[in-house]
Amino acid sequence: MELLVALDAGTSSVRAIAFDSTGAVVDATAREVQVNATSAGWVEQDAELLAGGCIQVLRELARNLGDRAADVVAIGITNQRETVVSWDRRDGSLLYPAISWQDARGAALCAQLTKAGHGEEIRSRTGLVVNPYFSATKMAWLHAQGVITSPGHHVCATLDSYLLWRLTGGTPDSPFATDLSNASRTMLLDIERLAFDEELAAMVGVDPRVLPELLPTAGFSFPVAKGLPFAGVPVTAMIGDQQASLFGQGCVKPASAKNTYGTGNFLLANSGSRRTRPGGGVLESIAWRLEADPPTYCLEGSIFTTGAVMRWMRDSLGILPAYEEIEAVLARTRTSDGVVFLPAFQGLGAPHWITGVKGAVFGVSQSTTADQLIRAAVEGISLRVEEVVEAIETAIGTNLEYLMVDGGMTRSEALCQLQADQLQMRVHRSGTPEATALGAALMAGLSARLFPSMDQVPFPSPSGEFIPKGSASAARSRRELYRRYLGRLVPETLAEGAR
């Protein structure tokens, strides 16, 4: 049976996973990678260790597969988005550490762009709000610091470009390219013309000569170089990690959506082949493009703090012995007794986009228990998800039929049920814990013609369905109380709407 390999270059680990043509995992390897953060909000990684780790997990996977390694027909790359790598294409020397998607050094430039009135223009062309989260201001910083001195030879791009370049030999003639899903997260791509916008690049301070060639997500073929694991096997797809998860969970029709519960939450909805130009603080990106077909767009709402709250309760407060205890806490504590938890350790993302807000707890009394505080935190996460769902539904002009969910916290059935109750919507738990890697592998298989059409792609069935059981009035009461406290903390949030 033919095999597909996903190379998943995440923030804290890199992994290589082999899937068979039914989408089942055959083997997997992983290595942790280090993240270097400073108190000034700078976050960097060693790009050589990232690429070297990717090659190492591929080598280990090939060794584990043994004779079956010859059955691998295609490789798909998925990666942490927005992270910027800069190098010299002549000799492969790295010019600077990889600047992480989490890095905030572009905040001052973002403030300048907003003050100069460029925010709406950037949003109109790129679908994104002006924020240091995206790649453009990281690239501009490299220019301003004199790191980029020979544009054309010196290049900077998202991580997928560097991995493709390394896997195909790392020579001046190796392909220097990115796919549209990753490019749409740079804040430099005109997502309607499907081209880097030279006016925007000049406005931000990026020389267009440093940018990669644009490719569809699937519909190309670059063989892995000799001497590397899986030599000769073609890389046939590249896709950003959240878009890969959207695809891997089978959200291929308009108004289908997924929510990943990790350190933060990423809620993406397929919005079809035409731009929606959303308001309400949700972002618009390219989900994928299959060969010469029109692109599929997606709407995205990022919630910066979700799983991080539970880690804080475990590691800093000591009131949650282990993540597995969430299930028991929610089962034995049926109400938070008016306690409201705002999960905002790193500011409010979608749909508000206010960086200065911090997390807060309201309604605490002497009788408040640790369990009630934990339940309030989970309810707070569900309420933040509801805010993003409502903003996306408004943008696409229709209600979501159901929400696919994945990520570590969704192991808790009580959490999934609470989310269904708060949304008053069916919640489907993903049928695989490897939705992101599976999405990259399936995209590679589609590109390599292992699957002749989208209808024949083996998307996994959900592992569980959660139907609303709680009353709509109870959900509404939680929402009203949450909004009342949020309005006290940030009055302009509710008075003016998202910015």
CATH number for the domain spanning 121: value is: 3.30.420.40
The pLDDT tens digits for 87-140 are 999 999 999 999 998 888 998 999 999 999 999 999 999 999 998 889 999 999
Question: Rounded to 5 degrees, what are φ and ψ at 196?
Answer: -65, 140
Sign, CA dihedral 132-16-212-276, equals: negative
Looking at the domain assignment, is residue 83 inside a domain? yes
**What's the mean pLDDT in 9-35?**
93
**Domain for residue 448, yes or no?**
no
Instruction: Enter the pTM of the model.
Output: 0.90
* Predicted pLDDT of residue 40: 77
Read off the amino acid at residue 275: R
In a domain, 442, yes or no: no
Rounded Cα distance between 187 and 132, Å, is: 10
Instruction: Report the chain's mean pLDDT, rounded to a whole number.
Output: 92
> Given a cut of 60, is residue 492 above it in pLDDT?
no
One domain for residues 122 and 213: yes
Regarding whether 338 and 284 lie in a shared domain, the answer is: yes
Q: Is residue 458 in a domain?
A: no
What pLDDT sits at residue 482? 94
Tokens representing residue 301 in the block: 């709402």
Q: Quick check: 296 and 304 in contact, CB under 8 A?
A: no
Using alpha carbons, select from 3, 132, 168, 158 the residue that is nearest to residue 74: 3
| Same domain, yes or no: 19 and 43 | yes
Instruction: Give the separation between CA 187 and CA 84, rounded to whole angstroms.
Output: 12
List, for residues 274-327, the tens digit of each pLDDT value: 998 887 689 999 999 999 899 999 999 988 888 888 889 999 999 998 888 888
The reply to whether 293 and 235 lie within a common domain is no
Pair 122, 24 in one domain: yes
On whether both 199 and 256 belong to a single domain, the answer is no
Residue 454 within any structural domain of the chain: no
- Looking at residue 323, its pLDDT comes to 80
State whether 228 and 283 are in the same domain: no
Same domain? For 284 and 351 the reply is yes
Is residue 167 a contact partner of residue 79, using CB atoms and an 8 Å limit?
no
pLDDT tens readout for residues 229-280: 999 999 999 999 999 999 999 999 999 999 998 878 889 999 999 998 887 6
**Domain range for 483:** 250-429+469-499
pLDDT of residue 407: 84
| Number of independent structural domains in the chain | 2
| C-alpha to C-alpha distance for 419 and 412, rounded to whole angstroms | 11
Percentage of the chain lying above the pLDDT 70 cut: 98
In contact, 84 and 160? CB cutoff 8 Å: no
Distance of alpha carbon 285 from alpha carbon 270, whole angstroms: 10
Shared domain for 186 and 282, answered yes or no, is no
d(CA 359, CA 499): 19
Query: Residue 453 — φ and ψ, nearest 5°?
Result: -150, 165
Residues 360 and 378 in one domain: yes
Predicted confidence (pLDDT) per residue in 153-201, tens digit: 999 999 999 999 999 999 999 999 999 999 999 999 999 999 999 999 9
Residue 495 pLDDT exceeds 50? no
The helix, strand and coil proportions of the chain, stated in percent and rounded to the nearest 5, come to 35, 25, 40
Q: Specify whether 294 is located in the same domain as 421.
A: yes
The last residue of a domain, from among 189, 218, 241: 241
Q: Of 445, 430, 20, whose CA–CA distance to 249 is shortest? A: 430
Domain final residue, candidates 217, 241, 265: 241
Query: In this structure, how many other beta carbons lie within 10 angstroms of the beta carbon of residue 426?
Result: 15
In a domain, residue 452? The reply is: no
pLDDT digits (tens, 9 = 90+) for 380-425: 999 999 999 999 999 888 999 999 998 888 888 999 999 999 999 9
CA dihedral angle for residue 28, residue 33, residue 39, residue 42, rounded to 10 degrees = -90
- Report the relative pairing of strands 13-20 and 25-32 from DSSP bridges: antiparallel
Is the domain of 235 the same as that of 261? no
499 pLDDT higher than 50: no
Strand-pair category, 340-342 with 360-362: antiparallel
Q: Two tokens at 391?
A: 């903003």
Task: Quote the tokens at residue 266.
Answer: 């990423």
Q: Which residues pair with 86 in a beta bridge?
A: 96, 156
Cα gap 88→150, rounded to integer Å: 9
Domain end, chosen from 212, 241, 270, is at: 241
